[in-house]
């Protein structure tokens, strides 16, 4: 008996929605927009998080870098200025690499210039190419891969060979179609170098940087020297380890290299690459909060609109309510009829909004070249939210309809 009443209420609810298509569609659209904003933005944010994590993993998210430290010191009448601790010399960097006994790749390098010009024949790049002196381990610890050609060997680095690795954007910009860059001579900031290899493109990723050139660090020291050259050391474990433990060991070794006493503070920084990722993900939380608030505000407006439409529907169907009560319909049956109608409008709007949200979120995912994502948590959350919206918006109109006096309803015009 209860099942048949339930089916009858559903049938009447569907018929009522069909007879007021315009109002129902408008209300569903408002709900769909709120759910789309909620699901779509949060799906996009999940795609951004996935892309960031994958890109930092490719770049070597399990690496750490030892670099010179910058502090802010007090001077004069309340003024402050930045002070660099003593630079990391090439000798200190090599000394650390020899002393550090843990199974890890250790790379020594420095930024020669950020405004290099690369020429091949009559073609040249803009003066915005980053030129870095590196050793044979740099590609491993940085996540770059060789697209064609080869990497430097350890012997070539020691022998100050005039070689260069070109970023994909650099090679595409100066070499005509059909010309293999490998083995060709290019001029980098006035220095003739032979192209040993071309790096794979990192594409349109978040951490893309294809406008780069790498040359042996020894060659860079010789031809792009300057006073107080400052080197950095990047370490990447060969095996899965606790990075905090290895970071502590590296700091202890470098303190010995720097001849620091036990009571001295470390005059250098040891920064893990995933700290940048964690900072970015932490900031994304605020975007997630803003997106959630936008969705909630929109859904609140949808709930008010749905309640108004249901109240209008009760007024328009007063005669119908009176007839149904006159032939024996219970008060609870009338109440559930209108409540089901409100819930159905909310669920239909929610399903439509979820579909639009998944599409919108995965458009962003496709732009970031991330995998297709189906946010099941947000889908379930969206359905539950729409159910709550339907119940809250429909309860007052349903109670009003159930309490209508049948005699007064039958006299209603």
pLDDT tens-place string over residues 354-368: 888 888 877 877 776
Confidence of residue 162 (pLDDT cuts 50, 70, 90): very high
**Which has more pLDDT, 147 or 382?**
147
Angle at 375 between CA 372 and CA 376, to 5 degrees: 130
Q: Does the pLDDT value for residue 161 go beyond 60?
A: yes
Q: What is the pLDDT averaged over residues 316-338?
A: 79
Helix/strand/coil percent split, the chain, to 5? 55, 20, 25
Q: What is the pLDDT averaged over residues 98-117?
A: 92
Task: Judge contact between 201 and 168, C-beta under 8 A.
Answer: yes
Confidence of residue 95 (pLDDT cuts 50, 70, 90): very high
Cα–Cα distance for residue pair 45/66, rounded to 1 Å: 32
Phi and psi based region of residue 349 (left: phi greater than 0; alpha: psi -120 to 50; beta: remaining): alpha
Task: Judge contact between 306 and 390, C-beta under 8 A.
Answer: yes
Cα–Cα distance for residue pair 162/218, rounded to 1 Å: 10
Q: For residue range 181-211, what is the model confidence (pLDDT) as tens digits?
A: 999 999 999 999 999 999 998 765 444 578 8
Q: Any residues with CB less than 8 A from the CB of 254 and at least 6 apart, and which?
A: 66, 92, 96, 233, 266, 268, 270
Q: For residue range 227-243, what is the model confidence (pLDDT) as tens digits?
A: 888 999 999 988 877 78
| pLDDT at res. 68 | 85
Count the Cβ atoms, other than its own, within 10 Å of residue 49: 16
Looking at the chain, the whole-number percentage of residues with pLDDT higher than 70 is 85
Give phi and psi for 163, each to the nearest 5: -125, 160
| pLDDT at res. 187 | 94
Give me the residue spans of the domains in the chain. 2-56+279-410, 64-272
Looking at the chain, the whole-number percentage of residues with pLDDT higher than 90 is 28
| 113-127, 142-156, 202-216: least confidently modelled range | 202-216
The whole-chain average pLDDT of the chain stands at 81
| 59-63, 232-236, 269-273: least confidently modelled range | 59-63
| pLDDT at res. 228 | 81
**Which has more pLDDT, 226 or 19?**
226
Place of tokens 């529907």: 313
- The pair of three-digit structure tokens given for residue 364, joined into one six-digit string: 């962003």
Q: Does the pLDDT value for residue 1 go beyond 50?
A: no
The helix/strand/coil state of 154 is helix
Rg, the chain, Cα only: 33
Q: What is the pLDDT averaged over residues 30-56?
A: 75
Confidence of residue 165 (pLDDT cuts 50, 70, 90): very high
Q: Which range scores top for mean pLDDT: 42-51, 139-148, 297-306?
A: 139-148
Q: 151: which DSSP letter?
A: P
| 102-116, 238-252, 375-389: least confidently modelled range | 375-389
| pLDDT at res. 186 | 95
The helix/strand/coil state of 129 is strand
- The pair of three-digit structure tokens given for residue 119, joined into one six-digit string: 């020429």
Q: Does the pLDDT value for residue 410 go beyond 60?
A: yes
Confidence of residue 78 (pLDDT cuts 50, 70, 90): very low
Confidence of residue 295 (pLDDT cuts 50, 70, 90): confident
Maximum alpha-carbon separation in the chain: 104
Place of tokens 């048949």: 4
Count the Cβ atoms, other than its own, within 10 Å of residue 405: 13
Give phi and psi for 131, each to the nearest 5: -110, 125
| 179-188, 295-304, 404-413: least confidently modelled range | 404-413
């Amino acid at each position: 008996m209860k099942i048949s009443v339930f089916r009858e209420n559903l049938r009447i609810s569907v018929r009522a929605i069909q007879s007021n298509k315009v109002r129902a569609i408008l209300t569903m659209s408002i709900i769909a927009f709120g759910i789309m904003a909620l699901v779509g933005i949060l799906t996009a944010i999940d795609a951004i998080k996935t892309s960031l994590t994958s890109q930092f993993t490719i770049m070597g998210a399990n690496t750490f870098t030892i670099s010179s430290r910058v502090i802010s010191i007090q001077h004069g009448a309340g003024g402050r200025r930045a002070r660099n601790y003593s630079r990391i010399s090439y000798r200190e960097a090599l000394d650390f690499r020899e002393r550090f006994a843990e199974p890890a790749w250790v790379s020594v390098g420095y930024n020669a210039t950020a405004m290099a010009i690369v020429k091949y024949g009559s073609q040249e790049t803009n003066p915005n190419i980053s030129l870095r002196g590196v050793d044979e381990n740099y590609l491993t610890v940085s996540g770059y891969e060789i697209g064609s050609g080869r990497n430097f060997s350890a012997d070539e680095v020691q022998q100050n060979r005039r070689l260069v690795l070109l970023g994909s954007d650099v090679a595409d910009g100066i070499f005509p179609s059909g010309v293999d860059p490998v083995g060709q001579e290019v001029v980098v900031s006035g220095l003739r170098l032979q192209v040993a290899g071309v790096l794979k493109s990192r594409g349109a990723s978040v951490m893309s940087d294809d406008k780069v050139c790498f040359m042996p660090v020894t060659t860079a020291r010789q031809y792009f020297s300057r006073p107080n050259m400052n080197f950095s050391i990047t370490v990447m474990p060969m095996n899965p380890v606790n990075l905090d433990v290895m970071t502590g060991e590296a700091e202890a070794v470098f303190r010995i290299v720097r001849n620091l006493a036990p009571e001295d503070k470390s005059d250098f920084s040891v920064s893990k690459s995933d700290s940048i990722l964690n900072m970015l993900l932490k900031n994304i939380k605020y975007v997630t909060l803003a997106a959630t608030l936008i969705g909630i505000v929109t859904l609140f407006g949808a709930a008010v609109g749905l309640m108004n439409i249901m109240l209008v529907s009760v007024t328009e169907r007063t005669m119908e309510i009176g007839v149904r009560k006159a032939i024996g319909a219970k008060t609870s049956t009338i109440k559930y009829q209108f409540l089901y109608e409100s819930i159905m409008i909310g669920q239909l709007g929610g399903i439509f909004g979820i579909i639009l949200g998944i599409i919108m979120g995965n458009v962003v995912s496709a732009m970031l070249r991330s995998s297709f994502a189906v946010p099941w948590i947000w889908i379930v959350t969206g359905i539950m939210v729409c159910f709550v919206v339907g119940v809250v918006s429909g309860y007052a109109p349903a109670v009003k309809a159930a309490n209508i006096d049948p005699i007064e309803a039958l006299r209603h015009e």
